[in-house]
Amino acid sequence: PRVIFSGIQPTGTPHLGNFAGAIRQWLNLQHDPDEKCRRFFSVVDLHAITSPQHGQQLRQRKRETLAALLATGLDPSKSALFYQSSVPAHTELMWILSCIASTGYLSRMTQWKSKLGLSPDTTLQDGGVKASLKLGLFSYPVLQAADILVHRATHVPVGDDQRQHLEFARECVTNFNHAYGPHLRSPQTITSSSRRIMSLQQPTKKMSKSDVDSKSHILITDTPEEIRRKVMAALTDSVNSVSYDPEARPGVSNLLDILSIFDSSGRDPAQLAEDLLNRSLMDLKQLVADAVITGLQGIRERFIDFLSADEGRYIDWVEAEGARKARENAEETMAIVRQAIGL
Ligand code: TYM
């Protein structure tokens, strides 16, 4: 039977990129007719502390992230929703994987470089890097691999920016199984059909929760007015017609990518551009704002309701239930792993 695992960092409310790249796929996977299919979606708080966090704020954001996931339609009777730190097996397996993961491979990964604002071809040896790079940020992909492997996931639905981390997880499986026998299962990546969603203000950068400019991202809990204001203010270019060319026209193409996510007839961005050939950029923005507002309709209201339901205890109850299922599933793997290693 299929086992689905994916994660999201509680560093802010999920945005349109998270929705397009990941959450939308998670929702579709709930319709899998396979009765035995198990689904685990984790709010990865241990990954979030690779950048500085305030305890009180992190606690609040974890609850908000879980409430936002429920508001999109994730159903706790079909999907276990839990905080990563509630399942200690994730960190236990991480340590074990650390003992077979190579620092050479990790040093080529691009995420720690981009989080430190370094270029992708920076090496560990470059001046100052070794001193400022925290071990946790460097080994971030090892914890991510443990998240996936501890649940024996067969499929991992993520946005395109996570590909490199998934390849690393498969590398960990190869190394572990070579050393200890064929106990871990190699996961398949499922990526959404859409390209990564870009910042509305700097369309050559990906849309990100940590971007301080609130106009750069649309949160899935934004009001219709906020959504319209942000779309209308999106950076485009000076050619007042519609065409799809991500290289030459990143801003306009990003709007078409967004429109395509919500297009009821399932047209891809290039097709949409053809259909909108004679329209102005103002028209395009109006269409995008309408589509996003309709597509996210109801999420905001449900988000607020979930957060306050049963005086806030509902969220904690959902999490406790999800964590119990996740611990049980992870424990099965750990029993095999400990046995194989001699622990
Ligand atoms: P995170 O929290 O950055 O993002 C959660 C999911 O949203 C996708 N995503 C995007 N997709 C399209 N366009 C964008 N602009 C965009 N921004 C984010 C991401 O691809 C991701 O699927 N390392 C992961 C969390 C994680 C994880 C895991 C994922 C931890 N352990 C195990 C899968 C399996 C992360 O930081 O996601």
| Region 288-301 average pLDDT | 98
| Region 259-275 average pLDDT | 96
| Region 25-35 average pLDDT | 90
| Region 14-26 average pLDDT | 97
Return the pLDDT at 113. 87
Residue 287 has pLDDT above 90, yes or no: yes
Our answer on whether the CB atom of 321 is closer than 6 Å to any ligand 1 atom is: no
Of all protein residues, the one whose alpha carbon is nearest to atom 36 of ligand 1 is 9
Return the pLDDT at 226. 98
Our answer on whether the CB atom of 159 is closer than 6 Å to any ligand 1 atom is: yes
Return the pLDDT at 174. 98
Residue 127 has pLDDT above 80, yes or no: no
Task: For the chain, give the percent of residues with pLDDT over 70.
Answer: 100
Our answer on whether the CB atom of 62 is closer than 6 Å to any ligand 1 atom is: no
Q: What is the whole-number distance in angstroms between the Cα of residue 13 and the centre of ligand 1?
A: 13
Return the pLDDT at 214. 94
Our answer on whether the CB atom of 48 is closer than 6 Å to any ligand 1 atom is: no
Residue 125 has pLDDT above 90, yes or no: no
Our answer on whether the CB atom of 115 is closer than 6 Å to any ligand 1 atom is: no
Mutate which of 3, 4, 6, 18 for ligand 1 pocket (most atoms within 8 A of beta carbon):
18
Residues marked active site are found at: 115, 206, 209
Of all protein residues, the one whose alpha carbon is nearest to atom 11 of ligand 1 is 21
Residue 160 Cα: closest atom of ligand 1: 20
Residue 123 has pLDDT above 90, yes or no: no
Return the pLDDT at 53. 95
SS (H, E, C) the chain: CCEEEEEECCCCCCEHHHHHHHHHHHHHHCCCCCCCCEEEEEECHHHHCCCCCCHHHHHHHHHHHHHHHHHHCCCCCCEEEEEHHHCCHHHHHHHHHHCCCCHHHHHHCCHHHHHCCCCCCCCCCCCCHHHHCCHHHHCHHHHHHHHHHCCCCCEEEECHHHHHHHHHHHHHHHHHHHHHCCCCCCCEEEECCCCCCECCCCCCCECCCCCCCHHHCCECCCCHHHHHHHHHCCCCCCCCCCCCCCCCCHHHHHHHHHHHHCCCCCCCHHHHHHHCCCCCHHHHHHHHHHHHHHHCCCHHHHHHHHHHHHHHHHHHHHHHHHHHHHHHHHHHHHHHHHHHHCC
Our answer on whether the CB atom of 47 is closer than 6 Å to any ligand 1 atom is: yes
Our answer on whether the CB atom of 80 is closer than 6 Å to any ligand 1 atom is: no
| Region 289-307 average pLDDT | 97
- What does the mean pLDDT of the chain come to? 95
Return the pLDDT at 237. 96
Residue 86 has pLDDT above 90, yes or no: yes
Residue 150 has pLDDT above 80, yes or no: yes
| Region 160-189 average pLDDT | 97
Residue 17 has pLDDT above 90, yes or no: yes
Q: What is the whole-number distance in angstroms between the Cα of residue 341 and the centre of ligand 1?
A: 31
Q: What is the whole-number distance in angstroms between the Cα of residue 163 and the centre of ligand 1?
A: 10
pLDDT tens-digit series, residues 227-261: 999 999 999 999 999 999 999 999 999 999 999 99
Q: What is the whole-number distance in angstroms between the Cα of residue 335 and the centre of ligand 1?
A: 29
